[in-house]
A = this chain, B = another copy of it.
Amino acid sequence: MTREATSKRSTDTPAPTFKVVFQPSGRSGQVEAGVSLLDAARSLGVGIESICGGAGTCGKCQLVIEDGQFQKHSLVSSPVHASAASAEETLICEKHGLPPGVRLSCMALVEGDMLVTVPEEAQANKQIVVKAATRRVIAVDPIIRMALLTLDPPVLGDRSDQERIFAILEKRFGLRGVEFEHPALKALPGALRAGKGEISLTIWNDQTIVRVQPGIHDTPFGLAVDIGSTSIAAYLCDLRSGALLATASAMNPQVTYGDDIMSRISYAVETPNGRERLQRSVINAVSELGAQAAAQAGAAADDIVDCVLVGNSVMHHLALGLDTAQLGHLPFAPVAGGSLDLQARELGLKFNPGARVHVLPLEAGYVGADNVAVILAEQPHQQDEIVLIVDVGTNGEILLGSRQRLLCTSSPTGPAFEGAQITHGMRAAPGAIERVRIDPHNFVVSLKVIGQDQWSHDLPDSQVQARGICGSGILEAVAELFVAGILLPSGKFNPNAETPRIICGPKGQPAFVLATREQSITGNPILLTQGDVRSVQLAKAALYVGAQLLMKELGVKQAERIVLAGAFGSLIDRERAMVIGMIPDCDLERVIAVGNAAGDGARIALLNKASREEAARIAHWTEHITSPLENEFQEEFVAALSFPHASHAFPHVDQIIADRRAGAPVD
């Protein structure tokens, strides 16, 4: 079955050589007669996928041989100069349903000049674009690889199954010093029986066999997970193609034990078994999200063999079961900050028993692995222009810099933008108001509710079916109320605004009716109260002041580009984020919203093993700036609580408000 013999010649006369050109890469070179096209491609640096290592069993290493012969660098029509397809090759092509004319590069031998085309599906080192501001192109090169091999039944004098597999891995795949994880070793005899000697190995980092399956399996699955203080997002990826197969998200069940990270630390440190309880709850949630995402993709959690976890320092420590006591006070020293490679089962994750977990490194006490992931996705450290990245979450994280210098800080934003601690707040799920528009002239409200394709003004009230309001809806509602003049710059409801939508809400505080009783599925109106507005002010001021802190440290007045990130249901509305003063006043063209950049970064680390090393370098190189605790900071914070208004400091916001009040079309 092996092709090695064909590359050797028994005579001492040198073999003739022929020119072989591979398309679409265009790589070419002289190749000895009798060499397989797979070996020829490898020697010329052309990546052709093969999970059987050239054994002629996987049917992946397809190519098409074009007619021809080279004469003075050009190809002229001539008989094809490759070996004819053997009966065995034909059989394998039929077994895998390959179209006529397609050859297997491990079986087709060079016998003359040739032009060959490697179809896209057979090209190794695929690339994908991860959805991000920089539209970063990632080579799909995961730490997991598959190897398909066939073990003949043992004969007397053979070494053990394990040692025979190691010999094949070395000979055919060039892998030395590979070891079995113990569960995989235990599964080996059964898999060999079930697969009649044909087995697929899932290999981590070219060194550890983590899974053994009978027969041909070529697609390992991986899960990238962003553990936020309030919500958890999980992304299931095909580790072969890099494709995003499914996403799933859920509230972080730890919110039961405390809304913010300080209260989680208290619970973990002060409650007996508190740390274990918090770990178990988040790990169970991640397991559940993995199972949900796998089910969406028609697979099972048992198919997940790799996982990347990111989160802020406290989420990181709690997920790993590490003591968070030191994170609760200056100097906020983490127990572990470097990247970690673990077995998923060690953490209690219910994926494949051999699954691995990679945890991205932390930057500093309060700036976490999620921020490292944001950098991986947005690459500010590779850019000439100065970028401000605001990652909105319960624990907001802010980055400022360029390839020269990159600063980061964290900001205790609070959970308002994740829909928590808001009267009718909810997470981005069906029934959540995610977008809000208010006409500044007549205070007519229009809503976009998750689960409905149309805005509320295009629907009868009974079909709006609002249940609550999620983070993006809260942000937009506050911005629209301010633009409409219903909220004053101080954040107070304008006593002169005449609309029946302003009512006396819970605890006697003023409240605005976003969705009427008729539009609500609960039978009660969905309100935004004075207290809710205050929560948003606290949150946006924290982010604003964090950005100011970094600009001061870097000695710049403004960023050349602003990136708004966050695990919202939809993208953050950049205009309204600026209107409420979450980000510095600037030309809107310089602002982009990118969605969950931390999740994108986790996905990059999942799909490309080299990016894990890049993450380690980033984590060491980025400078952490601790929020000063002096009065100056307090004053700046108090000043930032107000909404931007008539001042030279906010020309762009002033213009937006003026245009809207003058009846400019709304986006």
Contact = CB atoms under 8 A, between A and B. Distances in A.
Interface of A: 154-163, 166, 179-180, 182, 185-186, 188-190, 320-323, 325-326, 330-331, 333-338, 340-342, 346-347, 362, 624, 626
Contacts of A157: 331, 624
Nearest to A158: B333
A322 B189 contact: yes
Given A156-B330, A331-B158, A338 B189 contact: no
Nearest to A154: B333
B185 A326 contact: no
Contacts of A334: 160-162
Contacts of A336: 160-163, 180, 185, 188
Contact of A331 (B155, B180, B326, B330): B155
A333 B190 contact: no
A326 B189 contact: yes
A161 B332 CA distance: 11
Contact of A322 (B155, B185, B326): B185
Contacts of A347: 182
Nearest to A279: B186
18 contacts: A159-B337, A160-B335, A160-B336, A160-B338, A161-B326, A162-B334, A162-B335, A162-B336, A162-B338, A163-B336, A163-B338, A166-B338, A182-B320, A185-B340, A186-B323, A188-B336, A189-B322, A189-B326
A337 B154 contact: no
A156 B365 CA distance: 9
B156 A189 contact: no
Given A163-B337, A337-B163, A338-B166, A331 B156 contact: yes
A357 to B, nearest CB: 10
A340 B154 CA distance: 21
B160 A346 contact: no
A136 to B, nearest CB: 27
A189 B320 CA distance: 13
A362 B159 CA distance: 9
B323 A190 contact: yes
B337 A182 contact: no
A323 B163 contact: no
Contacts of A333: 154, 158, 160-161
Count chain B CB atoms within 10 A of each CB in A189, A340, A341, A626 and give the residue with the most.
A189
A326 B190 CA distance: 11
A335 B154 contact: no
Nearest to A159: B337
A418 to B, nearest CB: 27
A160 B362 contact: yes
A333 B337 CA distance: 46
Given A330-B156, A331-B158, A186 B321 contact: yes
A189 B335 contact: yes
Contacts of A326: 154, 161, 189
Nearest to A362: B160
A292 B342 CA distance: 32
Contact of A160 (B155, B186, B337): B337
A335 B626 contact: no
A189 B330 CA distance: 16
| Nearest 4 A/B pairs, CB to CB | A160-B337, A154-B333, A189-B323, A162-B336
A154 B336 CA distance: 13
Given A182-B347, A185-B336, A189-B326, 9 more contacts: A158-B331, A158-B333, A159-B337, A160-B333, A160-B336, A161-B335, A161-B336, A162-B335, A189-B322
Contacts of A330: 156
Contacts of A166: 338
Contacts of A155: 331
A364 to B, nearest CB: 8
A178 to B, nearest CB: 11
Contacts of A160: 333-338, 362
Contacts of A180: 336
Contacts of A158: 331, 333
A347 B362 CA distance: 33
B338 A186 contact: no
A161 B327 CA distance: 12
A160 B366 CA distance: 11
A346 B181 CA distance: 10
Nearest to A156: B331
A335 B159 contact: no
Count chain B CB atoms within 10 A of each CB in A160, A322, A346 and give the residue with the most.
A160
A186 B322 contact: yes
A317 to B, nearest CB: 10
Contacts of A154: 326, 331, 333
Nearest to A347: B182
Contacts of A179: 341
A322 B188 CA distance: 9
Given A331-B156, A626-B156, A342 B182 contact: yes
Contacts of A189: 322-323, 325-326, 335
Contacts of A340: 182, 185
Contacts of A337: 159-160, 162-163
